Structure 1
Amino acid sequence: MRSAFLSVRLTGLLLLAFCLNATAEINPQTVTVSVKDVSVLEVFDIVRKQTHYSIFYDKDMLEGARPVSVSVKDKPLVEFLDMVLRDQPFSFYIEQQTIFIKKKKAVAPSTTAVNTPPALPPVSGTIRDGEGNPLAGVNIVIKGTNRGTATDADGKFSITVEPGQVLLISSIGFNSREIAVSSDTDFDITLVGENKSLNEVVVTALGIRKSVKSLTYSVDNVKGDELNKAKETNVINSLQGKVAGVTITKNAVGPGGDSKVLLRGNRSITNSNEPLYVIDGVPLSGNVSMLNSDDIESMTVLKGASAAALYGSQGQNGAIIITTKRGKSGETIVNYIGNYTIDQAAVLPDLQFEYGQGDAGIYSPSSEHSWGPKITGQSVELWNGHTVKMEGQPDRFKNYFRNAGTLNNTLSLQGGTDKLQSYFSYSNTLAEGIMRNNDMNRHNIDWKITNNITSKLTFFSKLSYIYEKVDNRVFPGDGGTFALPSLFRTPVTIPLSEIEQYSYIDETGQERQSYWNPGSSVQLNPIWALNRVLNTQRRDRFLGLVSMKYEFNSWLN
């Protein structure tokens, strides 16, 4: 669901967020509990509901837990957990809004008293780069353990440590650091960028190639072979995790889905924050998701002022320079690349199956909610007059998703003489989404000619054509006619077999939707949405370039 906020409301929202934050700091989390001989899991459930904290634990670890009897009112959360878990075989620690349950370490008997230093309070801080910009996604791990955290969008972190422990701080593109924790609880840490591959040649503005060590600004270069390891249908997603300071957010999953790219975070509230894309020296607006990754020789990422200096206001958010493959002198080389990948849903939605269709604990065949009576297998009459047992339907999402295959084939030819070189490639991508009927068919044709007229004068021409057809492109949010939101909204006790007949022919001979709730004006039949609302999109894109370069001397062309 996309929401638009008026700018005049922004101040009010910020003030409200500040007030809520201030209130949370003044009033620490408390719980009110009165139970007798209940399981620890029931106590955790009460804590979760009252505090909205997440609780992580291993179920096997709780098998030896003792029943709990406790009666407290407005007890601080930490004191309450200390009291409840004191005689249990496990303990806890809290990081931000998450409670972690861990097994207690066995303590060897000792005849001498040992003075154990008290644990330090959580340490926090901010991590920046050499230019003072906050770094998001930096890994902070306690040395010798598997406990850790990561910085948020503002470069901030918080983690609980014990005296004498060491923090290992690392991020792609930066030199790692080790910070020993003593009495300080607030850190301001600067990471220095790695200075590797100084002899590497990168492409800058207008396709000019320069050595990295000759540049006065920071660049990151990724070779085409590295990009192809991920085998993403959207080539921009292949940059994820390969360039420091680059944040890539998928606006939609599945084939044909676009992504939002940020270099060094958001800079504007009202304008676009995405970088400028430059393909073979030609600046382009909009996404480049339709490019064939097998045709890419390298990507160079310019950030901040360096991109603005080369491309003006267009490059104020940074620039991603894409250099595609060209012909080479020598024998004609025919190259074929084929690959097949399979995707599947890693995590299925976790719904409640304790309460069935209805509202306020009362069953109603026309209700669009799952707030009805408790599910006990009782018989109920559906909206269509059929009588069924009220049971949860946990397989509805399992049957909706699928193992999705992506087949990519690329055939290229390159060759030529010292005077004339050419490159031709054709690529076809057939991709399935993990959601049924989400399919993509894409064709890429690329043709380039390089003519070295003289030792100083070079002529270059390029023509690219891209055709893409996407069925049932996945959109974020729960609006529109997308099948997945309709499946979420369908009450958890309605069998899919009752709504499989998703259409009928009316008196005029037209196919119409069979609503699972005929009285509803908003609830689509998810099976209808899956099979009849395909939202087919077709895109044709032509890219042409003709350029001539004359080299006056070694430093000017």
Structure 2
Amino acid sequence: LNVSASVFSQEKISLDVKNTKLSKVLKLIEGQSKYRFVYSSNYVPVNKDVSIRVTNTPVTDVLHEILEHTKLNYSVSEKGLIVISRVKDTPVKGTVKDKDGIPLSGASVRIKGTNRGTAADVNGQFTISVPENAVLVVSYAGFSSQEIPLNGENNISVILQEDAKQLGEVVVTALGIKREKRALGYAVSEVKGEDLTKARENNLMNSLSGKVPGLDIGSTSGGAGAATSVTIRGVSSLSQSNQPLYVINGVPMENKPVGLNNTNPNGNSGSQWDNAPDLGDAVGNLNPDDIESISVLKGAAASALYGYRAKAGVILITTKSGKGSGAEFNSNYVAEQVVDRTNWQYIYGQGANGQKPITGVGAAQVGGS
């Protein structure tokens, strides 16, 4: 704020206003002092509500508090005229790169404390108009944000450092390419291998139940070796298979739980219309302990690279690979036995005293008595 020294600057006033229009507050200052204000209502928010309480305070201090954070400044002439003018923004140019000097296209550049900002172009260059003493906040996905005080500079160069925490969140996309999850233009969900072994299931796909939005999983019979019916975002066809395409380490695999002599192309879903035994499916042969991660690609954009077979979605399975030295051993054992303790009555008779006949002779005696 530009203030010239004069006898007027020694004047002090007292104000106690709450939610009062700025134009009225300025008139109150004129009434208690010899100052006169000059301004244009085109850029001065005369209808802005002002609340201030001061006692025996210099006029210049009062104006500083009123006009703070308004993009306005004032100057005082020797004759007591206070001219309120708009703060002019200064254009600032700059570039955003990583530590290797590669331009970061699309990097966000904004003025701290405001919602004003811009983005870097394909060459990492940007231009933005900033007020006096502004601070720029530069950020980019996978990199740590930086705050750059301008201090009057109009040409800056920003080098962002990688953020290990953000770079750790990558997913496997089509063709096995690893990309940052936030940089994808389509929906993809990933489940880590350790999440599949916390509660073991007879079929690997049953472990995804409740972990992936839009994934509907239903077991056809529930027994050991039973197949699993999987649909992504509902039924997509009435006459063809609604099962997703399974891709294991980049190799597509057919996984249709159709059962034996089943004319239903949608697979054996365990309904009364299937009328076919459940002979299991291919994905049920995978060992959950061998899985590194499972990525579920949803929608046409996600599965376009795999052709028509991926119209119902794609489930990418990445198996573990050798890392370092050492070995890991684990074992799992499941035993099932049909338990039927129903006490059937095979010898018929009337019985007596609440007891059924034990033998055929006893049944005949009771029936004949």
TM over 0.5: no
TM (norm. structure 2) is 0.40
* Greater RCO (Cα-Cα under 8 Å, separation 6 or more): 2
Larger Rg computed on CA atoms: 2
TM (norm. structure 1) is 0.27
